[in-house]
Copies of this chain bind each other. A is one copy, B any other.
Amino acid sequence: MTARIQASSSVPVRQSSVRAHNLALVLQTVATSENPISRAFTAAATGLTRATVSALVDDLIAGGLLVERDPAPRSGAGRPAAGLALAPDGAYGLGLEINVDYLAACVVDLSGQVRHRVVTYADQRLGSWETALTRLAELAAFPGASGAALAVPGLVSADGIVRVAPNLGWQNIDAATVLSEALGMPVAVDNEANLAALSELRAAGGRPTFGYVSGEIGIGAGLVLDGALYRGVRGWSGEIGHLPVHPDGRACRCGARGCLEQYAGQEALLRAAGVAALADLPDDADLGEAGAALGIALAGVVNLLDLDTIVLGGIYGPLLPRLLPGIERELRQRVLTFDLAPITLRAAALGADAAMRGAAESVIRSVLDDPAAFLGRA
């Protein structure tokens, strides 16, 4: 068992980075264990020496990330070992979401458990962006979070500026700075489909490759390739709502014609069914056009990226059984490798909470990935 260090890295391996690496390794070994595990077992599982593991464990306990619990009493010879576990209150991640018709916040702990969740419904297009962010900060007041992340339906720059959120009417809003000042902690900002995809990634485990498609008034996608979120050159990947599915077709708000959003977005679905709200959608509403449009777009995505799994979230989760026939007909006809390998289509595991859960988990993930940095800050 040897570490795969990237040989193309342009820098040498130093002791401090070896310690940081092994600190993360020990923490993640405990985190992924179903039950508390001993220091000896941690050493065996990681391949590190017991002395090294003990020193690292002591640091993680002192930093509040691990706890060591007395073992359950048992019969038989020998002294049972104490068990290591993630500290229940070691670190909290605050997840925030702003969408067209609601604000939401949740807090998850180190183990990914939701400790707090609040959603308030109101049309965010009616007020200013300042009002929306102020309300969100009030909603999210939760002591002790290590950091926060905000999910928005739009294009976000690497510096946390929302460049365009068309359905909110936002342009160039520095949400990261405003919220981090209001909350007194670092706040990352990201596209909602990206964060929802990260949440699905965490739920799936391993190094999966899948596309997460989030149906709302707009349609976004988060691409998880080889176990990591693919963001694109500027962080603007996943604009699947503007894939041309009928290039000479309906005019789109974006200025083009025939975008997927005009055939499978929430407003197109409601228009086709002749109702004003999703709750009014009759059970026998014809979703054939939306399914076919999704199928055409997804066939392009699969041909291009060789995905084997598509996860459908947002409004598509509950509607999936009725969208599937249209999607599958197009995939069967258009995906070059359809007969060679299966494609799995499934509803998102976390439903409507996926984006804010993904936001909160991204904070926790950064602690688990780099506990040395977390301990250094504490």
Given A13-B21, A22-B12, A337-B234, residue A244 in contact with residue B296 (CB < 8 A): yes
Q: Which residue of B lies closest to A20 (CB)?
A: B7
Q: Which of B12, B257, B305, B306 contacts A3 (CB 8 A)?
A: B12
Q: Chain B residues near A234 (CB, 8 Å)?
A: 306, 308, 337, 340-341
A28 at the interface (CB under 8 A from B): yes
Q: Chain B residues near A306 (CB, 8 Å)?
A: 231-239
Interface-centre pick from A28, A296, A304, A370 (highest chain B CB count, 10 A): A304
Within the complex, what minimum Cβ distance (angstroms) separates A295 from chain B? 10
Given A22-B13, A247-B246, residue A304 in contact with residue B237 (CB < 8 A): yes
Q: Which of B164, B299, B340, B369 contacts A244 (CB 8 A)?
A: B299
Residues of chain A in range 248-306 having any CB-CB distance to chain B below 8 Å: 254-257, 259, 296-297, 299-301, 303-306
A5 at the interface (CB under 8 A from B): yes
Give the CA-CA distance A27 to B231 in the complex, in Å.
Answer: 32
Are A10 and B22 in contact, with the CB atoms below 8 A? no
Give the CA-CA distance A48 to B257 in the complex, in Å.
Answer: 57
A11 at the interface (CB under 8 A from B): yes
Are A221 and B5 in contact, with the CB atoms below 8 A? no
A2 at the interface (CB under 8 A from B): yes
Are B4 and A11 in contact, with the CB atoms below 8 A? yes
Give the CA-CA distance A167 to B242 in the complex, in Å.
Answer: 32
Give the CA-CA distance A340 to B157 in the complex, in Å.
Answer: 11
Size of the chain A interface, CB-CB below 8 angstroms: 76
Are A303 and B20 in contact, with the CB atoms below 8 A? no
Are B5 and A3 in contact, with the CB atoms below 8 A? yes
A24 at the interface (CB under 8 A from B): yes
Q: Which of B238, B245, B337 contacts A236 (CB 8 A)?
A: B337
Within the complex, what minimum Cβ distance (angstroms) separates A213 from chain B? 11
Q: Which of B7, B47, B301 contacts A11 (CB 8 A)?
A: B47
Q: Chain B residues near A303 (CB, 8 Å)?
A: 239-240, 242-243
Are B209 and A233 in contact, with the CB atoms below 8 A? yes
Q: Which residue of B lies closest to A301 (CB)?
A: B304
Give the CA-CA distance A155 to B338 in the complex, in Å.
Answer: 13
Q: Which of B18, B28, B256 contacts A13 (CB 8 A)?
A: B18
Residues of chain A in range 108-124 having any CB-CB distance to chain B below 8 Å: none
Are A2 and B14 in contact, with the CB atoms below 8 A? yes
Q: Chain B residues near A35 (CB, 8 Å)?
A: none
A134 at the interface (CB under 8 A from B): no
A55 at the interface (CB under 8 A from B): no
Are A8 and B24 in contact, with the CB atoms below 8 A? yes
A77 at the interface (CB under 8 A from B): no
A46 at the interface (CB under 8 A from B): yes
Q: Chain B residues near A337 (CB, 8 Å)?
A: 155, 234, 236, 239
Q: Which of B9, B18, B48, B307 contacts A25 (CB 8 A)?
A: B9
Are A1 and B5 in contact, with the CB atoms below 8 A? no
Are A17 and B5 in contact, with the CB atoms below 8 A? yes
Give the CA-CA distance A254 to B163 in the complex, in Å.
Answer: 40
Binding site for B on A (CB under 8 A): 1-14, 16-18, 20-22, 24-25, 28, 46-48, 155, 163-164, 209, 221, 223, 225-226, 230-240, 242-247, 254-257, 259, 296-297, 299-301, 303-308, 333-337, 340-341, 369-370
